Structure 1
Amino acid sequence: MDGYVESGKIPGIVTLVSRRGEVVVDAFGKQSLGGGSMRRDSIFRISSMTKPIVAAAAMILVEECKLRLNDRIDDLLPELADRKVLRRIDSPLDDTVPANRPITLRDLLTFKLGIGIVMAPPGLYPIQIALDEAGLTPGPNPLKVAPDEYMSRLGRLPLIHQPGEKWMYHLGSDILGILVARASGQSLEQFLHTRLFAPLGMKDTGFHVPAEKLNRFTSSYMAGKETGELAVHDEASASRWAEPPLFPSGGGGLVSTVDDYLAFCQMMLDKGVHNGERILSRPSIELMITDHLTPEQKADARIFFGEHSGWGFGLAVNTRRVDLATVPGRFGWDGGIGTTAYTDPVEGVIGILMTQRLMESPEPPGVFLDFWTSAYQSIDD
């Protein structure tokens, strides 16, 4: 890992590997270019590593019978009632047919609600343009729209596919966060803090970084368009994450540390229990980490899943071993601003890597691959 810092590819890295009670953490490089040294408790934008946390929050409400997996969600999200569906992905927005059925909570959790990120060049299809013009296109920066307005704008657009038909990335988690808030009667951050962060001791996890913690916040970087050298994406000292967001994104809004995220992963590995306190039941955890996609749905999303993974509730599940780390049953996800975390029940391994360099494609960058190879090559029993 140190080689990535020395080469200038990444300003700083924190790694954590846990196995059967032993935890090893290393910090390399700087929190920002020219700034202070990276620390074990440095705070990172974990982006899409938010998704498993919000899925777990939804399952808490399922266990309390405040939500049901197969119930239609338009009682709480009336903006999604009576959906229209495009005849084809390249259809004009008014070339639609009625949805075959309502959207369910299960659809949100498995990303089969019928709308999400279109993996095509920007502006290729009318629905892409409409999502962008409505301010709903996800990216590395917080959305500038409040949750109720988000739903209002989304409700004016058709679905791309029939509910349950195709897997489409991301929007399901953003909608899920709004559903959790409405079902619980709390803001998403309040519910996450009360039911997950406080019980798990995740003291540095939230949707923004308070002023007293900004000295531990990392700056984030991306590849420059012309030279390829690092360019600033978000400077910690003037960060977009320094204030509570207008839209607390269930798909990618959280900041966290390696130790905070370890607490969440360890709870998942321990079948829903943390320090003797039950957060979720074992059946809920097992349902979350089961692959819920058909072979055809995975084939359509090969850029995300390759030949080795599927999708559970808010996270990927390895289904086939194709390298050292893809152990069947291993689960987790990556964050687009340069983080990755997976939990392996077979080997008892939890691995977390946090960097500040934005990913340039859905395929994992070299630093992710090398981290996982290094972690798994060390297993000798």
Structure 2
Amino acid sequence: MALAPTLTMDVDAELQRIADEAVQRHGVPGVVTGLARPDEASVAVSGARAIGGEPMTRDTVFRIASLTKPVVAAAAMALVDRGTIRLDAPVETWLPELAAPRVLRDPAGPLDDTVPAEGPILVEHLLALRAGLGFAGFEPTPHSAALMERLHQGQPDPPGWPHPDTWMAAAGTMPLLHQPGRGWSYNTGLDLAGVLLSRAAGTSLQEVLADTLLEPLGMRDTGFRLRPEQVARTATAYMPRGAELVETDAPDGMWAGEIGFESGADGLVSSLDDLLALGRMLLAGGEVGGTRVLSSASVARLLRPGEPSSPEHPFLQGQSWSLGGSVDVVELRPWEVRGRYGWIGGSGTAFSVYPRSRTVAVWLTQHGLGAPDDDERLTPPLTLAAGLERAAR
């Protein structure tokens, strides 16, 4: 899907300045970023794929971490459109391991102090992260420890995860943090949704994504495994450790071999143009080039705000969560603008769509989150896109 070269020269120059500053001032090894509207795009590239390595290029492949969530949510809505699943259906139809969940009396208490769930977990609860399995915050609890030990949550190690059936058996032993639909807990719901989509369609999650999104949109770089030809143009992954960046995965590392579990929460690799294509489809109401990928009703549901959170919420910080991504409902910071849908990835990535200006913003780096200046590195391109959105009001 070809993109026209620029939005305006001013946006081009500012986006390139932002990318260069991330590399030269904030220690990011490399950046690929873009702002796109229906028929035009501005793209900036800076730095290298690895420290001291080859220059970054527009087609560099990145581990996109939690940007997987909106991709999987969009695929789920495609299966809703086809009648394969329903948002209001109990998940036990496909995930019998969750047919009789129990709920912790105290979210921070022991795992064996529980009461029966008062209702079933629904498909919508998984996508909206309201099922009760996931992280409530960053403080350690018996529940968060069990999520990491039993369900490998917070551990980017695709080859080390078990088969989905084994993983689901472990999930069935976990109590919920809250009654289904009555709270919000991060991450695990999208892993559960990924297994559900695979079982509902009778194929792998990769094939579900390919059939519903990747092939119709030409997203050839997006998947749970690197093809051999992708390895050479894949960025090396790093995480901050004090004042240094430590390599955590090489291009021929964890995503280049066999993978037992396709994580619907954070397992995908992708590229700039693939994510711009996804965003453009959402902003076009689900239709691209005469091909209907999602119904307009499904797109509207994805972009619809959920319940507002408190400004102190550890993950949402005042914003709401829809399906697979957050939606801004207040403007507390310069990069926030009402109606923006998207999310960030712990690998140093961001994806947002802006309905009024019909702008997609994508920011891809290999500098993982966890440093004090995370906001300074991530938010400048989103602030630029938010300005375009406000100008369109």
Q: 1:88 aligns with which of 81, 106, 111?
A: 106
Residue 303 of structure 1 pairs with residue 319 of structure 2: no
Which of 207, 224, 234 aligns to 1:207? It is 224
Alpha-carbon distance, 1:305 to partner: 2.1
Q: Is the CA contact 2:111–2:142 (under 8 Å) kept in the aligned structure 1?
A: yes
CA distance in 1, matches of 2:36, 2:226: 26
Q: Deviations over 1:33-58 (max 9, x none)?
A: 11100000000001111111111111
3-state secondary structure, aligned to 1:365: helix
Please tell me whether the aligned partners of residues 151 and 171 of structure 2 are also in contact (alpha carbons under 8 angstroms): no
Q: Name the counterpart of 1:356.
A: 366
Q: Contact between 2:331 and 2:338, CA under 8 Å: does it hold in 1?
A: yes
2:289 corresponds, among 257, 275, 295, to 275
* 2:193 corresponds to 1:176: yes
> Using the alignment, how far apart are the partners of 2:210 and 2:91 within structure 1?
24
The verdict on how the C-alpha distance between 1:110 and 1:362 changes in structure 2, with shifts beyond 3 A counting, is: farther
TM-score normalized by structure 1? Answer: 0.93
Q: 2:59 aligns with which of 41, 44, 47?
A: 41
The question of 1:9 aligning with 2:27 is answered yes
Post-superposition shift, 1:321? 2.6
Secondary structure of 1:186's counterpart equals: coil
Alignment-mate amino acid for residue 305 of structure 1: L
| TM-superposition CA deviations, 1:244-270 (whole Å, max 9, x none) | 421100001110100011111100010
Give a deviation string over 1:200-228, Cα, whole Å, max 9, x none: 00011111111122111000111124xx1
Cα distance in 2, alignment partners of residues 377 and 73 from structure 1: 41
Native 8 Å contact 2:311 2:317 kept in 1: no
- Residue 325 of structure 2 contacts residue 342 of structure 2 at CA under 8 Å; is this kept in 1? yes
Secondary structure at the counterpart of residue 150 of structure 1: helix
SS in 2 for 1:232: strand
| Identical-pair percentage | 37
**Counterpart of 1:262 in structure 2: which amino acid?**
L
Q: Does the 8 Å CA contact 2:37/2:280 hold for their aligned counterparts?
A: no
Equivalents in 2 of 1:70, 1:86: separation in Å? 24
Structure 2, unaligned runs of 5 or more? 1-18
Matching residue's letter, 1:205: T
Is contact 2:138–2:314 with CA below 8 Å preserved after alignment?
no
Q: CA deviation at 1:304?
A: 2.2
1:246 partner SS: coil
Separation in 1, partners of 2:360, 2:313: 25
Give the Cα–Cα distance (whole angstroms) in 1 for the partners of residues 119 and 87 of structure 2: 15
Is the partner of 1:299 in helix, strand or coil?
coil
Query: How far is the alpha carbon of 1:20 from its aligned partner?
Result: 4.4
Listed one character per residue, the Cα deviations across residues 226-255 of structure 1 (whole Å, up to 9, x for unaligned) are xx111111122x310112421100001110
Task: Point out the more displaced range, 5-14 or 138-147.
Answer: 138-147
Q: Given that residues 330 and 346 in structure 1 are in contact (C-alpha distance below 8 angstroms), is that contact kept between their aligned partners in structure 2?
A: no
In structure 2, the partner of 1:128 is 144
Distance 1:129 1:376 in 2: 37
- How many residues were matched structurally? 372
Mapped to 1, the partners of 2:287 and 2:222 lie a distance apart of 19
CA distance in 2, matches of 1:96, 1:83: 10
The match for 2:348 among 312, 328, 338 is 338
AA at the equivalent of 2:146: A
- Residue 77 (structure 1) shift: 0.3
CA RMSD of aligned residues (A): 2.0
Provide TM-score, normalisation by structure 2: 0.90
Q: What amino acid is the match of 1:233?
A: T
Residue number in structure 1 paired with 2:324: 314
2:78 aligned to which of 25, 49, 60: 60
- Taking the aligned partners of 2:300 and 2:270, their CA distance within structure 1 comes to 25
The code of the aligned residue for 1:259 comes to D
Instruction: Measure, in 1, the Cα distance between the counterparts of 2:259 and 2:274.
Output: 21
Query: Which moves more between the two structures, 366-375 or 267-276?
Result: 366-375
CA distance in 1, matches of 2:317, 2:149: 31
> Are residues 1:117 and 2:127 paired?
no
* Superposed CA offset, 1:134-167 (max 9, x none): 2432233335211111100010121111101111
Q: Is the 8 A contact 1:303 1:362 kept in 2?
A: no
